[in-house]
Structure 1
């Protein structure tokens, strides 16, 4: 089975064309070699793919006939992704929140109304003169 089709079948990519693009960009390797979308995959192959800043490591256990349900994915692959990769992603999310807390961007409608209530029209004109 083709690598792009396999990754689509085991639900790592939502569409086959997205899996094909990932292969073309060099995000997928099979047994340490960069894979083209048409490369065949066999049981016991090691696949490494980079998606959402995580390097997933998979071992092919079996080849599915077609796309499988989420509960059946573990029959066809063994996920050997280290736990540190997921912890690193969580740290990235937390570090982004550190610099800019959620809701601290542009004022919301409620914030704007509160500002308007605080600053009346008479105060505004007195301050500018």
Structure 2
């Protein structure tokens, strides 16, 4: 950590290890997934100590407050000292993690994964249900 007064947002996100590369940080900012002090932003926006940054890492929303600025990317324990996550953000992440834990397994709803490959009899029934589809080359009704 150094005595910088401000630095580019994309560089700070990279130094704080929110994104693996600066180009990924720029891409996420460009998609509107990052805001500073509740305002849309650009990668070259200067961040200062005390700024609030809302971002998404995958499906998880996070809100952090900038505690320090660093001119270089360091190890994870050092990077975690650059910010402090808000209490609301931590509570929301825990709630979302609990929802994912309690959600049904996606494979349970798909019969083919649950029941395995179709038998010869199942295949004949599928083919009978599809009969008449071969007359048309597309699914649109305009061709009829």
Structure 2 length-normalised TM: 0.65
Bigger Cα displacement from structure 2, 69-78 vs 35-44: 69-78
From 81, 91, 98, the counterpart of 2:99? 91
Structure 1 unpaired stretches of 5+: 113-129
Q: Could you say what secondary structure the match of 1:57 adopts? A: strand
TM-superposed deviation, 1:53: 1.7
Contact 2:10 2:43 (8 Å CA) reproduced:
yes
Q: Does 1:57 align with 2:53?
A: no
Contact 1:62 1:76 (8 Å CA) reproduced:
yes
- Deviation sequence 1:58-83 (CA, Å, 0-9, x none): 10011112002101123211111232
Q: Does 1:7 align with 2:13?
A: yes
Bigger Cα displacement from structure 2, 87-96 vs 61-70: 87-96
> Match for residue 90 of structure 2?
82
Give the superposed CA RMSD: 2.7
Distance 1:68 1:20 in 2: 19
Contact 1:53 1:89 (8 Å CA) reproduced:
no
Question: Counterparts in 2 of 1:29-44, with a 5 A limit?
Answer: 29-44=35-50
Structure 2 unpaired stretches of 5+: 1-6, 118-144
Bigger Cα displacement from structure 2, 5-14 vs 48-57: 48-57
TM-superposed deviation, 1:106: 8.3
Structure 1 length-normalised TM: 0.72
TM-superposed deviation, 1:54: 1.6
Distance 2:42 2:99 in 1: 32
Contact 1:54 1:89 (8 Å CA) reproduced:
no
Q: Does 1:18 align with 2:24?
A: yes
Q: How many residues align?
A: 111
